[in-house]
Amino acid sequence: MDKQTLRERIWDELADSGEARFPFPPHGRIPNFAGARDAADRLAATNEWEAADVVKANPDAPQLPVRRRALHEGKVVYMAQPRLRDEQPFMKLDPAAIDESDLDSAATVSKMDGYAEPVGPDDVPHVDLVVSGSVAVTEQGARVGKGEGYSDLEYAVLSELGAVDATTTVATSVHELQIVGADAPEPDAHDVPMDLVVTPDRLVRTDSPFPRPTGIDWDVLDDERLDEIPVLRRFAP
């Protein structure tokens, strides 16, 4: 099964089962799901979460409870701007600089700009925990995103600067329907494997056999992608 076929299957299953949540339809996006807050609570019960001071999180709806909990627990959260379109593509949310009553709003994509500081990749410190959104994931940590490749590219850029490395934990929160088995495609070299997979019902420690990328895979980036992402120009060979 190729990645797009798998995506379509998962999106259909979430919609048909009634487990998808706003925004609708789940197709074409990192799908929101019933129990996303329970999955966030399960992630927050891990030692990796407890030890993390700096979290890099995706901006999608199912990970909103993760971002909110991180801010309420005093963790600094970084989110990437859509398509890494600016010279300072990462948004820094420092709960020490935000009124406690505004933390829930600050974690949302629609209100983030009023609270976040745009920073370049050089200003991102070492990240303790990366939280990624997924369309599908295996118990071995192979992740399938929505197909645009930005999550893996964000990791690659930070990896070039040492902000993420082998000590950084990578996690995803999903619905049980999004965990797939042997029919999942093998990950590509630029795909970032997951260390932790959390659902509303369980935690999976993957012991992933897949190697992490350690930098930008230039072979998969065309000229259009290079032109539209300013931060790539400084790294381009």
pLDDT one-digit tens code per residue, 23-65: 999 999 999 999 999 999 999 999 999 999 999 999 999 999 9
Whether residue 237 is predicted with pLDDT greater than 80 in this model: the reply is no
Report which of residues 31 and 81 the model is more confident about: 31
Instruction: Write the DSSP symbol of residue 201.
Output: S
Res 6: pLDDT: 97
Report which of residues 224 and 67 the model is more confident about: 67
Q: Quote the percentage of the chain above a pLDDT of 70.
A: 100
Task: Kindly report the CATH number assigned to the domain that includes residue 76.
Answer: 3.40.50.10420
Crossing angle of helices 36-44 and 64-72, in 10° steps, is 40
What are 173's strand-pairing partners?
198
Reported pTM = 0.95
**What is the bridge-based pairing of β-strands 117-119 and 32-33?**
unpaired
Res 22: pLDDT: 97
Instruction: Write the DSSP symbol of residue 76.
Output: E
Res 233: pLDDT: 82
Closest CA to 7 of 136, 168, 103, 114: 136
Res 76: pLDDT: 98
Mean predicted confidence (pLDDT) in 3-26: 98
Alpha-carbon gap, residue 213 to 188, rounded angstroms = 10
Alpha-carbon gap, residue 63 to 40, rounded angstroms = 8
* 211-217 CB contacts, 8 Å cutoff, 24+ apart: 212/159, 212/166, 212/170, 213/152, 213/155, 213/156, 213/159, 213/189, 214/159, 215/156, 215/159, 215/160, 216/153, 216/156, 216/157, 216/159, 216/160, 217/156, 217/189, 217/190
What confidence category does residue 85 fall into, taking pLDDT thresholds of 50, 70 and 90? confident
Instruction: Write the DSSP symbol of residue 189.
Output: T
For the stretch 150-208, pLDDT in tens is: 999 999 999 999 999 999 999 999 999 999 997 899 999 999 999 999 999 999 999 98
Alpha-carbon gap, residue 145 to 60, rounded angstroms = 12
Res 123: pLDDT: 96
3-state class (DSSP) for residue 141: coil
3-state class (DSSP) for residue 5: helix
Res 221: pLDDT: 87
What confidence category does residue 127 fall into, taking pLDDT thresholds of 50, 70 and 90? very high
Res 12: pLDDT: 98
Res 54: pLDDT: 98
**Looking at the 3D structure of the chain, how many domains does it have?**
1
3-state class (DSSP) for residue 108: coil
3-state class (DSSP) for residue 40: helix
Q: Which domain holds residue 193?
A: 3-234
Mean of pLDDT over the chain: 95
Q: Which residues contact 173 (CB under 8 A, 6 or more apart)?
A: 36, 39, 40, 42, 43, 62, 63, 66, 131, 133, 198, 199
- Per the listing, tokens 């070039």 go with 160
